[in-house]
Amino acid sequence: MKTMSAREAKNGFGLLIDTARAEPVLIEKHGRGVVVVISLEQFEKLSLRAGGGGFAPSNSIDAKGGTH
């Protein structure tokens, strides 16, 4: 699994997306893992395995963290 700092993920978002499409990426903040970014395909596989029924987006999140 690749690892990136939160700053690297922010500044290199395109690279984060490209990398996550190929393998999970652990995002660290202050040297501690806080989130893993995975491809939609991998998420759907995990969701179906857990009985979640797949991915159905219900809301989008704006830049300030609000939903609409």
- Please report which confidence band the pLDDT of residue 11 belongs to, taking 50, 70 and 90 as the band edges: very high
Protein fold of 2-49:
YefM-like fold (3.40.1620)
Is the Cβ–Cβ distance between 68 and 59 less than 8 Å? yes
What pLDDT does residue 17 have?
A: 98
What pLDDT does residue 12 have?
A: 98
**Distances, alpha carbon 4 to alpha carbons 38, 40, 53, in Å:** 13, 19, 30
CA–CA dist 51, 6 (Å, integer): 31
Predicted TM-score (pTM) of the model is: 0.78
**Domain range summary for the chain, segments of one domain joined by +:** 2-49
Q: Which residues contact 46 (CB under 8 A, 6 or more apart)?
A: 38
pLDDT in tens, 13-65: 999 999 999 999 999 999 999 999 999 999 999 988 888 666 666 667 677 76
